[in-house]
Amino acid sequence: MTKAITLAISLIAIPASADWQINMNEGVTALSREIFDLHMLIFWICVVIGVAVFGVMFYSIFKFRKSKGAVSEHWHENTTVEVVWTVIPSIILIAMAIPATATLMDMYDTSEADVEIQVTGYQWKWRYQYLDEDIDFFSNLATSREEITNEAAKNPNYLLEVDNPLVIPVNKKVRFLITSNDVIHSWWVPNFAVKKDAIPGFVNESWVKVEEPGVYRGQCTELCGKEHGFMPVVVEVKAEADYEQWVADQKAMKLAMAGEASKEFSMDELIAQGEGVYNMSCAGCHQPNGQGIPGAFPAITGSTIATGEMDKHIDIIVNGKSGTAMQAFKEQLSAVDIAAVVTYQRNAFGNSMGDFIQPSAIQK
């Protein structure tokens, strides 16, 4: 019955949302539509109550206005009326709680998942670990610095694009275990009706079963520092076979990368690759020009570490420095990337150490 009513109501609401939308998303999962229906049902209950209460109020104000000679009553209490206006709202609240509880129970039922993925928030990127497969990667913002600084036109997915999207299969129950490595973040994909805080030391759970392949976008939705607006979520939902292929590719890539690490690189190759790594993973703090931000992030230009002993330089990147925003990059970057960014920092931004390091020499 309530389903039929909300369906009818949401049909009326659709044409209005064609061009611009102020209502919440209906989303692309059975659960997100259930949440949407619940939201519409309760919204219309509120509208009816609002119209009734304010209707009576405005009517009374107008009808019994002073200029018409209205004189106010002076009675103190009326137990019957008071009981009525206490009991009716209680009944309405309880009636609304019943479907709401049903939906909540569904949202919290993370049992019998087909795929399990740990989602970890970092300043300022997401890490996805597939618990049943040996897949583990970071998802960084892919929007170019030029677009951010208004030096290039902004593309339609501005700040909503990443290098490695999360990939999940269609029509499978995917369970997310959401946590954080540093501060509180929040993983939000509006079309999935999933929005869960990522809290260090805690694991929050959520799940999704998407019915249509496609690309769905979201954002970090808990203020988490300087680049909070620059750590979007992109989820690619693939058909079953495509997903299997992606998993196989992912594993092949991992093998290939292990092979890469034992190759010999020239200094120029390392610097070229290092520039890309730096802009993607370091420039947010140390700045694209390597000057850092005084008082917060040290400059790389003339840094005693970046122009000092090679081992110390590698160490601060691999292991980070605890208690500071300088995080350990050993999980995030391959040996090749670390060798490349070290070499780049030593030979760019005015530094000219002239030395370089091979990936095979990086101890993680």
Partner 1 sequence: MREWIRAFVGVFFAFLGVQSEADRRYDFEKGRFSVFAVAGLILTFVFLSIVYGLVQLALIYVQ
Minimum CB–partner distance for residue 257 and ligand HEC (Å): 17
Q: What is the DSSP string of 120-150?
A: EEETTEEEEEETTTTEEEEE-B-S-HHHHTT
**281 sits near ligand HEC (criterion: CB under 6 A):** yes
Partner from ligand HEC, Cu ion, partner 1, none binding residue 224, C-beta < 5-8 Å depending on class:
Cu ion
With CA atoms as reference, report the closest residue to 132 among 181, 189, 188, 173. 173
Minimal CA–CA distance to 194: which of 170, 181, 171, 210? 210
Site for partner 1 (CB under 8 A): which residue of 47, 57, 97, 258? 97
Tokens of 20: 């611009």
- In this chain, which stretch among 91-99, 216-224, 319-327, 349-357 interacts with ligand HEC, using CB under 6 A? 319-327
Cα diameter, the chain: 98
Binding region for ligand HEC (CB under 6 A) out of 46-54, 150-158, 243-251, 309-317:
309-317
Does 298 participate in binding ligand HEC (rule CB under 6 A)?
Answer: yes
Scanning 83-91, 142-150, 169-177, 237-245 for contacts with partner 1 by CB under 8 A, the matching segment is 83-91
| Residue partners of 181: CB distance under 8 A and separation at least 6 | 120, 121, 122, 127, 200, 327
Candidate ranges 94-102, 259-267, 309-317, 339-347; the one touching partner 1 (CB under 8 A): 94-102
CA angle 282, 218, 238 (to 5 degrees): 100
Q: Is 178 in the site for Cu ion (CB under 5 A)?
A: no
Give the integer Cα–Cα distance in Å for 2 and 134: 45
Binding site for Cu ion (CB under 5 A): 185, 220, 224
Chain residues binding ligand HEC by CB under 6 A are 123, 281-282, 284-286, 297-298, 303-306, 313, 316-317, 321, 324-326, 329, 341, 345
